[in-house]
A and B are shown apart, each in its own frame.
Chain A
Amino acid sequence: MALYFVTGKGGVGKTRYSVLLSQKMKKAELAELSQALQSEAEKFKLSLSTIHSFSKETLGETFLKKSLRIPFLSHWISQSKIFQTLFQLAPNLYELLLLRQWIQIAENKDLIVDAPSSGHFIALLEAAKAAKEMFDGGSLHKLADEILKYFQKANTTSVFIVSLPETSALEESTAIEENLRKNYPKMRIQKILNRKHIAPPKELELSKNMQQLAYDRPKLEDERIFSYTFDQILEEGAVTL
């Protein structure tokens, strides 16, 4: 059972890819931060398996329950202004707790995470390292350690980096890949090219603009992706993997 992250530049189709991946991995569950999976699935009239979405409040309270082991006290503290403020002020705390939740689920089932875009995704993974450096002791330090150990094990985590055949998306994918290979050598990385365009087989009557999009765009895309390798290339409009 493993954790599968889907990331890439904003707007490349992470949510779409997460939905399609869950259709292929029938027993996998999904997780997200942005409440977009359901509406994406509806476009294809698909029903999705469990979607996990954790609010800060839920995570905070669950964490307290585990740390303090006294349910009513945890609830009371989690409602207090002080705790809420501390929670807000603690860097990386939300990210740490999220990672921990996802890892816990992935210990029993395959979990596909519709992750944030590039920079935020890297920052999310880094939360554990940062927490370990910032906090010299305490339960968060311990938690950060556990998370880092998980990412350092083989066969626990895969990352799908989704890109478009556009310069900025391609460059950003390369940057994420380099970062992951350097910092998380045990993670399995797969590179996905989304929305590759194919020229129409016939000559069509189109405006100048549309002509360029129909016939020039596929050729330009081929040139742009020439020096890149992908594990999978999805054509524009693909509805299965």
Chain B
Amino acid sequence: MKIQFIWGPGGVGKSHLSILQAYQSTYASTALFTLDPSRRLFDLLQISREKTRVDVKLKNKKFFLCGLEATQLFEELSQKSIANAKVRIFYEQMVKGLQEFREYLSLIQLSDEINKSTYERLVIDTPPLQEAFGLQRAMNNLQSFFSQSLIQFALKGQQAKILHSTMKHAFELSRVFIGKKSAERVFEFLEWLGTHADRFQKAADQLTKLSYSEETEHLFVLSPETAFVRLEDIQKLSKPFKNISFVINRSVFDEKIPDENDSFCNEMREFKNLESKLIQDLKRLFPKSEISRLPYQLMGDDTEEELIRFSESRMTKVDVPKST
């Protein structure tokens, strides 16, 4: 299975690019997964957000769309060991209230789906960059989260005296902050979660191995306005990745802009300058990475026609500008 992750800041067209990649896939079977909690892909493809797994047909192209979602996972986990009503409520709150926890869960789901999947090509749409850091942290920390956390304390607490007294102190501390009943619920929840620790650890290992593999592609979507600070973010995020490439969406580089002083020409000229600088910065920070561009097109209606037109666009490779 050939896997491609699609990353990018908010508002650059990452969702559109994810669909384009699935649409232009030449493999016999393709799946498009989204880790983005906003489920933008579903809106763009005009599919109800109530669904999580759908076969999509766009013009004459077919692919499978799957939104990774924490509550589904809860149902599966509950089948293995029954969670009582209190734990269920706490789980829902954890999912709603703790972005990192949601990220851990969506990664576990991703790992499960990859294991189940028989598709030849898998495109994975991620949340916008700032949130994606959480995902990467989750990938790196999934194992330590479960091995070092209180879950292990909860499991071992019954066995070791020292650990048991640590648990007791933790319990007392948490009572001060969240009240007695809540503290009990937290620990019940941790115990329940602990029964799945193995599975989570396996998922963490698998995903880490997968995303750092040379076979796995990582495509970063940018636009000419992408600030330099985002490139530094991308450097951090992509450090362990082996196979990185970039696409500059809304490119105006090949366009000739008239020398007029109206807001349109000024905007395009500004974009052109920014794009030129962006490419220089990319070449400097990521010398081994391929850079492509997609021309700036009229968009904004979110119709199927617009989506197909976009999905059929050709990405062209960038030549290094002669001046530095």
Contacts and interface: CB of A to CB of B under 8 A. Distances in A.
B103 to A, nearest CB: 12
Interface string A187-229: 0000000000111111011110110111011001100100000
Name B's interface SS: helix
Nearest to B254: A207
Contact of B264 (A33, A117, A136, A200): A200
Interface in B72-114: 89-90, 93-94, 96-101
Contacts of B128: 10, 117
Interface string B164-182: 0010011001111111111
Interface string B1-45: 000000001111000000000000000000000000110100100
Interface centre among B11, B12, B268, B301 (most CB of A within 10 A): B11
Interface in B108-150: 128, 130-131, 145, 148-150
Contact of A130 (B12, B97, B101, B131): B97
B227 A40 contact: yes
A202 B264 CA distance: 11
Interface centre among A39, A88, A210, A221 (most CB of B within 10 A): A210
A139 to B, nearest CB: 5
Contact of A91 (B94, B175, B252): B94
Given A82-B173, A86-B174, A89-B149, A136 B262 contact: no
Interface string A71-100: 000000100011101101111100100000
Contacts of B9: 10-11
A9 B36 CA distance: 13
B260 interface: yes
A92 B263 CA distance: 44
B169 A130 contact: no
Contact of A39 (B11, B227, B266): B227
A90 B262 CA distance: 53
B302 interface: yes
Interface string A116-144: 01111001001100110111111111000
B298 A207 contact: no
Interface stretch (A45-53, A101-109, A150-158, A163-171): A163-171
A136 B182 contact: yes
- B: contact size bracket: 35 or more
A137 B173 contact: no
Contacts, number: 177
A162 B255 CA distance: 30
B299 interface: yes
Interface string B286-324: 000000000111111110000000000000000000000
A9 B190 CA distance: 35
A81 B96 CA distance: 24
Interface of A: 9-12, 33-36, 39-40, 67, 77, 81-83, 85-86, 88-92, 95, 117-120, 123, 126-127, 130-131, 133-141, 164-168, 197-202, 204-207, 209-210, 212-214, 216-217, 220-221, 224, 235-237
A141 B179 contact: yes
Contacts of B267: 197, 236-237
A220 B270 CA distance: 23
A210 B263 contact: no
B213 to A, nearest CB: 28
A216 B264 CA distance: 12
B96 A216 contact: no
Contacts of B148: 81, 85
B256 interface: yes
Given A39-B227, A136-B182, A138-B182, 15 more contacts: A10-B10, A12-B11, A39-B228, A77-B173, A82-B150, A91-B93, A127-B97, A164-B300, A200-B260, A207-B256, A209-B296, A210-B255, A213-B268, A217-B298, A236-B264
Interface centre among A39, A91, A123, A237 (most CB of B within 10 A): A91
Given A166-B299, A198-B263, A209-B296, A138 B268 contact: no
B96 to A, nearest CB: 6
B173 A134 contact: no
